[in-house]
Amino acid sequence: MSSPARGRLLGLGLVALQGLLFLAVGLTALLPGPGLDGSLWLGSTLVLLGLLGMFWSGKDLGRALTPMPTPNGAGLAAGGIYGYARHPMYTAIVVVALGLAVGSGKLWTLVLCVVLAVFFDVKTRVEERFLVDAYPGYADYAARTGKFVPGIGKRRAS
């Protein structure tokens, strides 16, 4: 199997797993199970902030928006919200998941939220290998820009 075919297959697998994890977060928030004290107000606020972050990230990505970890050739988005964090879309999705966990008060939803955050950390490691290869300026951008939030998780310059 060629390298591009392997990259596409890996990308499809990661996207499928991402979808399943987010679906599991939503389902566990609705199903009965062990609970914690939830806060519908705080949970709703986090969901709304996360959705706002998703839309803002998508707007700033423009044509470069793709769920795949491989670049689609539309260019590197390093402006707007991407000037502060390299992966704000993933941050926003985790904030939505956290909002569901806090709002529902379900323990399994909170656990899956943590699993989703770890998944995005792994996915970004794969994604950034492709980005470094595709865009000569990516390593410098990553060395000065936080990974999920501003200032935290900058890549070491190679």
Residue 155 lies in a domain: no
Show the DSSP H helices in 31-155 as ranges: 40-61, 88-104, 107-134, 138-144
Give the CATH number for residue 7: 1.20.120.1630
Count of domains for the chain: 1
Q: Which of 158, 94, 80, 81 is nearest to 124 (CA)?
A: 94
> Residue 48 is encoded by which pair of tokens?
């709304």
Residue 150 lies in a domain: no
| The model's pTM | 0.89
pLDDT digits (tens, 9 = 90+) for 108-157: 999 999 999 999 999 999 999 999 999 999 999 999 999 999 988 888 86
Residue 152 lies in a domain: no
pLDDT digits (tens, 9 = 90+) for 68-94: 888 888 888 889 999 999 999 999 999
Residue 16 lies in a domain: yes
> Residue 136 is encoded by which pair of tokens?
């000569």
pLDDT digits (tens, 9 = 90+) for 7-54: 778 888 998 999 999 899 999 988 887 777 878 899 999 999 999 999
How many whole angstroms separate alpha carbon 153 and alpha carbon 130? 18
Q: Residues with Cβ < 8 Å from 115, sequence gap 6 or more?
A: 21
Q: Phi and psi dihedrals of 21, rounded to 5?
A: -65, -45
Q: Quote the strand ranges of 38-123, DSSP E.
A: none
Residue 55 lies in a domain: yes
